[in-house]
Chain A
């Protein structure tokens, strides 16, 4: 392949200049990436894509003829609606479990911190601790924050398998929204229970009614958004601080030519934040210099990166599809991973260079990686050992194989719900006034991943640009936020790309038109934001002129997020079709039937410009209903 051809392929695969440069390098050096594997997997099985393949029991696998042929039922007798709905619930459960189990670990560390058993952790945000304690009916006056934190942690942990059948944080939702949940029978009862019950219902011979299955899917997603994910966000804030606006840099140019590069990849900040705190250690800095490096350069990746960026301003090298590219720069001494969205092939990619991959969670080991188990009791010691290992690998870097792109992009992050509210003067009145006046038409949350089905970041960036042009404020989490960061949309100067109304508000407040609200569990921050605005207006979330979008999603977690958005009343546009097209009934219910229940629905639209049209139309519909 000629150099020109490699460059052309790279331009088809990704939007970002630094990504394109390193994709070209992977092609030149024959290093396999997700794009190559995606091409090798074509054609992908249509039964699977349509959701009509059932591999649940040993009478199968069965598949339904999507064209209406003879095979209209599985061996057990399940029809296409049952199979598609069950598969969707299965996917959603995996996503909800991933978020919530992440949340559980954060709450457990909060408990150990309160008990003085965790090394290097402290109660950082006492204000937030107090707010949560009050919600849980825990006394705070005159008490040691550690005692309060202990009661709170136990209170939240109890909700994973509760017998009280009630999730405290779900009471943050406005009353009209909770009323809808009650009426539909989808009020979440506990975090683990909904997931276990879903697994039960998926078993052969249990739930065969697709409507009933989908209602439980909604309930399970709510136990994630208003339960597990929210617990993850809130307890991370208590431990490490609630994010406030912070400036940093992004893209692959954040890697350093002369320092020890450590990439912190995954989702949970528990270990990585300790690594950030420990990297300042003088002894480690000295060791780095001894090994010929000018220091230690920590960069984030994916949502672990988002967590560190928001709270400590750690540069973020990229999102989901950047994990192999970071290694392919040839400049990464170590990639530390916790869990979720880590390609199982990362050690194979790393073996093409000197990079060491270090797994740290007992739940997420990869053959070919070094395993250094993280435990809160000795987190600082583990962090030190990991950084040392990376430093000692620095002399193995081969300068002939290093290529680090130039010019990182500036970005601003850290827009927690509390920060936005405080910036507006303690209430949402100013924002509501701007929305009523039409200066800002509404708000859309763009979230989710990358997917090699679509040019990396194209969906996120194009949709965000389209919306802000139409005076719609954009809030983002996850890979979406990183995509717009790389594209230069997360800086106050990007207000010049916004419509006149939105631009004037951004200039007044000195904020970007696209707000980085955090990691993917921090989609819960978007829920709280929407809930608080709705409460000030005395309406449900479903009445607000807002929307959601996941233009490039791939993960089951996105299925859960999309569903808790829609179940909470937020119309949500997906850029990648979910595996439900095999069933007209399921499709119609999610795209249309739900409107009568939650005043929201799903839509599928790969073209981000058309997705913006759909979202704008929905916002106008809701504005009209509110008489504004």
Chain B
């Protein structure tokens, strides 16, 4: 099973994933055309920040079974068996938002979809960049991420990296430089300063 694995501590909050996502889901699929399209393309990934400046790029996890699919009364939500992606049939979507109530991650947004002859707002959630996957590319957000906060791959491989890192730390009391690069000292110092700044009274 392939997935996007989030390494939260590596997210610098640049929101480049949001921009790449919006471009990918625009009609013209280019930055310069996307910003002028009448129906604006919105990101389907959300870089959320909490008050100590920690960030988390939150996006559809393409759950299986997917709570959203299970509650959708019109069968608009369905699964692509090849990639495991949970997709939306926009024409069947009635905008009832029951899927959003069921979603454990709160990532569903109702929007007009660029390039679609629909005047109503529909569930415009992450489609895992299904078109790109079918062409052998990785999702736009993971491609855009230059710090590997978002990585696309076999879920067990990505988890193994984290596991090895944890095991190494436990056994050697140090970071696992070979698998997951440790956070450099200067970046740690920066994160500490920002956290202190955020918590000053």
Contacts and interface: CB of A to CB of B under 8 A. Distances in A.
Contact of A71 (B146, B181, B201): B146
A422 B18 CA distance: 61
A322 to B, nearest CB: 20
Nearest to A588: B186
B97 interface: no
B185 A67 contact: no
A116 B69 CA distance: 83
A581 B186 contact: yes
A606 B196 contact: yes
Given A45-B13, A604-B193, A607-B200, A584 B186 contact: yes
A349 interface: no
B12 interface: yes
A583 to B, nearest CB: 7
Contacts of A47: 12, 14, 146
B89 to A, nearest CB: 33
A45 B190 contact: no
B147 A65 contact: yes
A449 to B, nearest CB: 15
Nearest to A68: B181
A45 B184 contact: no
Contacts of B48: 43
A463 to B, nearest CB: 12
Contacts of B27: none
Contacts of B194: 577
B6 to A, nearest CB: 14
A67 B53 CA distance: 17
A606 B184 contact: no
Interface in A422-464: 453-455, 458-459
A65 B194 CA distance: 19
Contacts of A455: 200-201
Nearest to A71: B146
B55 interface: yes
Interface string A567-592: 00000000111000111100100000
A453 B194 CA distance: 9
B147 A66 contact: yes
A46 B146 CA distance: 11
A44 interface: yes
Interface residues of B, number: 28
Contacts of B187: 50, 66-67, 581-582
B76 interface: no
Interface string A589-628: 0000000000000001011000000000000000000000
B118 to A, nearest CB: 29
A42 B49 contact: yes
A63 interface: yes
A43 B53 contact: yes
Interface string B8-44: 0011111100000000000000000000000000000
A511 B200 CA distance: 31
Given A43-B53, A47-B14, A606-B193, A67 B148 contact: yes
A66 B181 contact: no
B189 interface: yes
Contacts of A45: 12-15
A532 to B, nearest CB: 35
A402 to B, nearest CB: 32
A69 B146 CA distance: 8
Scoring B47, B55, B148, B187 by chain A CB atoms within 10 A of each residue's CB, the highest score goes to: B187
Interface in A136-189: none
B181 A43 contact: no
Nearest to A69: B148
Given A65-B148, A459-B200, 12 more contacts: A46-B11, A47-B12, A50-B187, A66-B147, A66-B186, A66-B187, A67-B184, A69-B146, A71-B146, A577-B190, A581-B186, A607-B200
Interface of B: 10-15, 47-49, 53, 55, 146-148, 181, 183-187, 189-190, 193-194, 196-197, 200-201
